[in-house]
Chains A and B, each alone.
Chain A
Amino acid sequence: MSIETTVIGPELAERSMAENFRELWHYRGLIWTMVERDLRVRYKGSVLGILWSMIVPISQAFVFAIVFGVILGVGGGNLSSYIFCALIPWLFFQTSVLDASQSILAQLPLIKKVYFPREIPVIAAVSASLIHLMISLCVFVVFRWGFTTLKYGWPGPPSTAIVFLPIVLLSLFLLTLGLSFFVAAMNVFYEDVKFMVTIGMQFLMYATPIMYFAENLRYAGRIPSGWHWLAYHLYLGNPIAWIVGSFKQMFFLQAKVPVPGVNHPVLTAPFDWRYCLITLVTSSLVCCFGYSTFARVKWRFTERP
Chain B
Amino acid sequence: MSNSPEFAVEVDHLTKDFKVLHRSHSSLKTAATHVVKSMLQRGSGASFELRRALDDVSFKLRPGEAMAVFGRNGSGKSTLLSVLSRVYLPTSGQAILRGRMISLLELGAGFNPELTGEENVYFNAAVLGLNSAQSEDAYDKIVAFSELPPNVLNLPVRMYSSGMQLRLGFSIAAHMNPDILLIDEGIAVGDAGFRQKCYERMLEFKAQGKTMVCVTHGVEFIEKLCERALWLDKGKLVDDGPTAEVGQRYKESFNK
Contact = CB atoms under 8 A, between A and B. Distances in A.
Interface string B1-37: 0011100000000000011010100000000000000
A115 B109 CA distance: 12
Contacts of B92: 10
Interface stretch (B78-86, B228-236, B241-249): B78-86
Given A6-B97, A110-B109, A299 B131 contact: no
Given A3-B3, A9-B94, A40-B119, A29 B109 contact: no
Nearest to A111: B87
Contacts of B21: 305
Given A114-B127, A116-B127, A303-B18, A37 B89 contact: no
Contacts, number: 106
B66 interface: no
Contacts of B23: 305
Contacts of B95: 7-9
A6 B19 contact: no
Contacts of B131: 29
A10 B93 CA distance: 7
A112 interface: yes
Interface of A: 3-10, 12-13, 29-30, 33-34, 37, 40-41, 44-45, 109-116, 299, 302-303, 305
Given A30-B126, A37-B123, A44-B114, A10 B89 contact: yes
B114 A4 contact: no
Given A4-B99, A8-B83, A114 B110 contact: yes
Interface of B: 3-5, 18-19, 21, 23, 48, 82-101, 103, 105-106, 109-110, 112, 114-115, 119, 122-123, 126-129, 131-132, 156, 179
Nearest to A110: B110
Nearest to B156: A44
A10 B91 contact: yes
Contact of B110 (A8, A13, A45, A113): A113
The listed residue with most B CB atoms (<10 A of its CB), out of A7, A114, A299, A302, is A114
A208 B96 CA distance: 51
Given A10-B91, A115-B85, A37 B112 contact: yes
Contacts of B87: 111-113, 115, 302
Contact of B123 (A3, A33, A44): A33
B115 A37 contact: yes
A114 B105 contact: yes
Nearest to B63: A3
Contacts of A44: 114-115, 156
Given A29-B132, A114-B110, A8 B127 contact: no
A196 to B, nearest CB: 14
The listed residue with most B CB atoms (<10 A of its CB), out of A6, A111, A116, is A6
A305 B105 contact: no
A96 B123 CA distance: 22
A114 B5 contact: no
B115 to A, nearest CB: 6
Contact of A6 (B101, B105, B119, B156): B101
Contacts of A9: 89-90, 93-95
